[in-house]
Structure 1
Amino acid sequence: MATDYGHPTRTGFPGDSPAERRHLLPPALRAPFAARTWSEFGYILLSLPIATFTFVFAVTALSLGAGLLVTFIGIPVLAAGLAGLRGFGAMERMRARSLLRLEVGDPDPVRPKKSGGMAWIGAVLKSGASWRTVLYSFLHFPWAIFSFVVAVTFWTVGWGLLTYPLWQWVFPMYTGQDGIQLYGDETHSVYLNSPLEIAATALIGLLVTLATPWLIRSLTMVDRLMVTGLLGPSLLASRVVELESDRGVVVDTAAADLRRIERNLHDGAQARLVSLAMDLGLAKEKLREDPQAAARMVDEAHGEVKIALQELRDLARGIHPAVLTDRGLDAALSAVASRCTVPVTVDVDLDRRPAPAIEGIAYFTASELLQNISKHSGASRAMVDVWRTSDRLLLQITDDGVGGAEVTAGSGLAGLAERMDAVDGILVVDSPRGGPTTVTAELPWRG
C-alpha cells in the first residue's frame, strides 16, 4: 500500500490560500463584498429576462405545435420548439457553470435510430431531456420573478439604509422635509432626522446588508436544484454512467490482482521451485559419488520446500483466506491483527455474515489499512471495529499515529475508495496532522 501518511497538501477549498488566510474580517462581514455574492446576484438579475423569454417561447411553441397537430405541420413545429428549448437548456447550464460554479453534465443527445428528418423529429419528441426542459421553463419563470424581487428589494433597501447618513441631507435640501418619513397625517409627522434615528437606520441597514448574501445564496440553491434535476442527465442515465465506471474499476482491479498474483508466482514460488528442481537434480547425480554431499543438498532442498509452501500459503491468503470463508470476519481480522507490528484491538459485532463479496472487501480493506499503520503511521496502538447499522456494514480503524493520511490520486487510500465506490460504498478519512487517524468504511450489507 502506498504511503498515505505525511504532511497534508493544500487544497482548493476557500480559506486555504495565503491571501484568504490574511483577512482580518470574518466571512460574515466580507460576504457583501465577496465575488461569489455578486456572481450569484448577477445570476438572479439575468434570470428574469431569460426566464421570461424562455417561458414565452415554450408557451408559443407548444401552443402552436398542439394547435397544428390536426395537420401534419404540427409535429415538426413541436419538435422544432423542443429543439429550441434544448438550446436554451444548454445556455442555462453554461450560465450556471460560469456564475454559480455549478458543474452539471449535459443530458443525452438526440440519437435518431435512422437517418432522415422524420427519425430526428421522432427522437426529439421521445427524448425525456426535451420535456424536462419544457418543465424547467414553466417552473423557472415564476421562481425567477420571486427571486428577482426578493434579492433586489433586500439588496437595495440594505445598502440604502446603511448609507443613509451619507445621503440624508438630500431630503431637507431638495424635498423640503427632514428625512425619510415613517408616519404622517394631518397633525403628526415622523421623520428619521435625529442622530440616534440616523444611527439606528444605518444599523438596521447593516444587518439587512449582512443577511442579504445568505438570502441570495439560499435563492440560488433552488436554481442549482432545478438546473441539476431538470437540465442535467437523468437519474437513470447518471446511474448507467456510474455503473459503467464502477465496472471499469472492478475490471482494472481484477486485472491488477491477476498481474500481482502472476508476478508473485513468477518471482517467488516458481523461481524457488525451479531452483529446488535443479538442486534435487544435482543431488541425484552426486548420490553415488558423494552420498554425504547429496544428503546435505537434499536437506537444503527440504528447507526450500518449506519456504515455497509458506509463500504459496501467503499467496493463497492474499487471494482469499480460508479462515475468512470458514469462520468469518471476526476470526479473519483477528488473524490479520496478530501479524500487525502495532497492538490491535478487534471488536466485531455482527449477528450474521454479510454477502461473501462484501465480506471480502471489508477484510482486504482492513488488511491494507493495518499494513499502512504498521509501515507509516508510527502508532503505538490501533483499534478495529465492525458493526451493522440497518442495511449497511461499517468498518472503522483508528490509530494514534502521526496522522496526515489523505485520499490523493495514486495513493493506497484512493484505491480503496475506488473499490468501495464500485459496490456503492463510502470511505471517509479523518486524519489531522499529529493524529489520531480514523478511517471509516461503509458498505452495503447484501446478506
Structure 2
Amino acid sequence: METRDWIRDGLRAIAGGVLAIGLALTNFLLFVLFVVSLVLTPVLGLGLVLLPLVTRLIRARAAAARHIAGWWGVPIARPYRPRPEGTLPVGPGAYRQIVTDPATWRDFAWLLPGALVGVVLGVVSLAVPLYGIEGILLLPLWIWLGTGDYGYGAIWPIENVGDGLLSVPQGVLILTIGVLAAPYLRRADAWFTRLLLAPTRNAELRSRVTELTVTRADTVDAQAAELRRIERDLHDGAQARLVALGMTIGLAEEMVHRDPESALKLLAEARETSSTALVELRHLVRGIHPPVLAERGLDGAVRALALHLRIPTSVDSEVTERLATPVESAAYFAVAEALANVTRHSGATFAFVSIRRAGDVLHLEVGDDGAGGADPSAGTGLRGIERRLAAFDGTMSLSSPPGGPTIVTMELPCELSSPRTTLSSGTD
C-alpha cells in the first residue's frame, strides 16, 4: 500500500472514530426508549404502539452499524424475520412478531456494549494522533515560551529549547502509530458489532430456506409460463401449418388422377407450407436453446446476438471457455433480455456487453447511453432476469438514473463444463 493510501485510510478511520463516539449517544437513548416501551406495555397498551416504533429506530441504528462495518471489510447480513403479510406496522400482531424475533433482543443486547466499545476505541483512535500532534506543535511552542510542563512540576527554561525539540520526532512517531493503528481499531469495532448483530446459524438457515422457497416458486412459475408459451407457439404456428399441410396433401391425393395439374399446384403449396413450418420450428427451438449457443458457447452467441441489433453494440468478453450448459443458457437469455430492453425502451444510440469470470462467479454487464430511468417494477423484463438468475443463486443490480446511462450488472455462480460436455457440444 502506498503512503498516500494508508494516510487516507488512517484519516478516514479517525473520522470513523469520531462518528462512533457521536453514534454511541443514540445507543444510550434507544436503550432507554426500549425499556420504557416494554414497561408501558401493560399501561393502556401504549407499548403495542411504542415498541414497534422504537424497534424500527433500533433496527435503523443497527443497519447503520452494519453498513459502517462493511466499510472496513466486515460484511454483516440482516438477521430479521420478514413481517407476515397482512400484519399492521403497529398493534398486537407487530408487537408479537417483534418480541418473538431473536434478532430484536440481539439488537437490544448490543446497544450498551456496542456504545461502550465504540466510545473506547473511538477515543483511542482520536487521542493517540492528537497526542502526537501535540508533541509536534504544542510542546515546542510551550518550551519556547518557557512554560512547558511535562507534569513533573519542572518549568523548562528558554535555553533548553534544543532539548525540548526532541519531542518533535517523538510526536511524529506517535502520530504515525496513531494513523496506522486507527483502521485496525475500526475493524476491531466492526468485528465486535458482527459478534452481536450478525445472524445466528439458525437464522441464516431459516433465511436460506425462505430464499430457496421463493426462488423455487419463481422458477416453477417461470417454467410454467415458458411451457405455456411453447404450447401456444406450437398451436398457433407450426401445428396449424402442419394440419394445413396434411389437408393439402389429402386434397392432392384425391385430385392426382382426375386433375393432375391442380394436384401439382397443391403439392407445390404443401412444399411451401412445410418450409414455413420448418422455419417456425427452428425459431421455436432457438427460443429454447439457440443452436449458436451450443456451437460457439456464450462468447460467440452473445457476439452473434449483438450483430443483429439495430444499434451499435460492443462486446468485451474474457470468457472463451465453455461453461456448464444451464449456466450458459441462463447467462445468454439474461443478456438477450437486457439488450431487448435497450432496443425497445432506452432510446440509446450505443450499447455494450461485458463478460468476465472471477473464480466461480460469472460477471455480466449490459449498458447503454439511453434516457435511463429503468424500473424493474414497470414490467420491462428485468424481473424476469432476476427470476432467471435467482434459480442459480445469481443476482442482478440496476443503475439507471434519469438521463442515463443505464447499467445492468449480473452475477452468476458458474463452473467449467467437463471436457466430455465441451467435446459433445462442439460436435453436435
TM-score class, shorter-chain normalisation, is: 0.5 to 0.7
Counterpart Cα distance in 2 of 1:129 and 1:348: 46
Report SS of the residue matched to 2:311: coil
Match of 1:405 among 361, 374, 379: 374
Q: TM-score, normalised by structure 1?
A: 0.54
1:370 maps to amino acid:
L
Aligned partners of 1:140, 1:98: CA distance in 2, in Å?
12
What does residue 286 of structure 2 align with? 317
Give the structure 1 partner of residue 56 of structure 2.
97
Q: How far 1:138 sits from its partner (Å)?
A: 5.6
1:283 pairs with 2:242: no
Please state how far the C-alpha of 1:279 moved relative to its aligned partner: 1.4
From 357, 360, 371, the equivalent of 1:391 is 360
Identify if the C-alpha distance between structure 1 residues 299 and 134 changes in structure 2 by more than 3 Å, giving closer, same or farther: closer
Please show how residues 98-247 of structure 1 align to structure 2 within 5 Å: 100=59, 105-106=80-81, 139-143=110-114, 229=198, 234-247=203-216
Structure 2 residue 311 is matched with structure 1 residue 327: no
Instruction: Flag the 1:252–1:414 CA change in 2: closer, same or farther, 3 A.
Output: same
Cα drift, residue 261 of structure 1: 0.8
Quote the offset at 1:418 in angstroms: 2.4
In structure 2, the partner of 1:343 is 312
Whole-angstrom CA distance in 2 between matches of 1:249 and 1:365: 15
Deviation string, structure 1 residues 149-208 (Cα, Å, up to 9, x no partner)? 9xxxxxxxxxxxxxxxxxxxxxxxxxxxxxxxxxxxxxxxxxxxxxxxxxxxxxxxxxxx
* Partner Cα distance (2:224, 2:238) in 1: 20
Given that residues 272 and 308 in structure 1 are in contact (C-alpha distance below 8 angstroms), is that contact kept between their aligned partners in structure 2? Answer: yes
In the alignment, the residues of structure 1 paired with residue 340 and residue 114 of structure 2 have an alpha-carbon distance, to the nearest angstrom, of: 54
Tell me the distance in 2 between the aligned counterparts of 1:43 and 1:138: 11
Output the TM-score relative to the length of structure 2. Answer: 0.56
Q: Take 2:367 and 2:288, find their aligned partners in 1: how far apart are those partners?
A: 25
With over 3 angstroms needed to count, the CA separation of the structure-2 counterparts of 1:45 and 1:379, relative to structure 1, is closer
Mapped to 1, the partners of 2:336 and 2:269 lie a distance apart of 33
1:45 to 17, 22, 29: 29
- 1:371 aligns to 2:340 (yes or no): yes
Match for 2:274: what amino acid? V
The 1-side partners of 2:287 and 2:233 are apart by: 11
1:356 counterpart (325, 328, 339): 325
Contact 2:106–2:197 (Cα < 8 Å) also in 1: no
The letter of the residue matching 2:206 is A
Indicate conservation of the 8 Å contact 2:396/2:411, yes or no: yes
Q: Is the 8 A contact 1:268 1:311 kept in 2?
A: yes
Q: Are the equivalent residues in 2 in contact too, given 1:129–1:234 (CA < 8 A)?
A: no
Whole-angstrom distance in 2 between the partners of 1:325 and 1:314: 15
Structure 1: state its 5+ residue gaps: 1-39, 55-87, 109-127, 150-220
Compute the displacement of 1:328 (Å): 0.6
Amino acid at match of 1:247: R
Residues 373-416 of structure 1 deviation map (CA, whole Å, 9 limit, x = unaligned): 33333333322221212332112222233333221164411121
Q: Percent identity?
A: 40
In structure 1, the partner of 2:414 is 445
Cα drift, residue 283 of structure 1 = 1.9
Which amino acid letter does the alignment assign opposite residue 301 of structure 1? A
- Residues 265 and 400 from structure 1, CA distance in 2 versus in 1: closer, same or farther, beyond 3 angstroms? same
CA-CA distance at 1:252 after TM superposition: 1.2
User: In 1, Cα distance between the equivalents of 2:400 and 2:194?
Assistant: 32
Q: Is the 8 A contact 1:354 1:446 kept in 2?
A: yes
The one-letter amino acid of 2:357's match is R
Q: In the TM superposition, what is the alpha-carbon distance from 1:339 to its structure 2 partner?
A: 2.7
411 and 225 in structure 1: CA distance in 2 versus 1, 3 angstrom threshold: farther
**Number of paired residues?**
286
Of structures 1 and 2, the one scoring higher in RCO (CA 8 A, sep 6+) is 1
Cα distance in 1 between the residues matched to 2:213 and 2:289: 26
1:258 aligns with 227
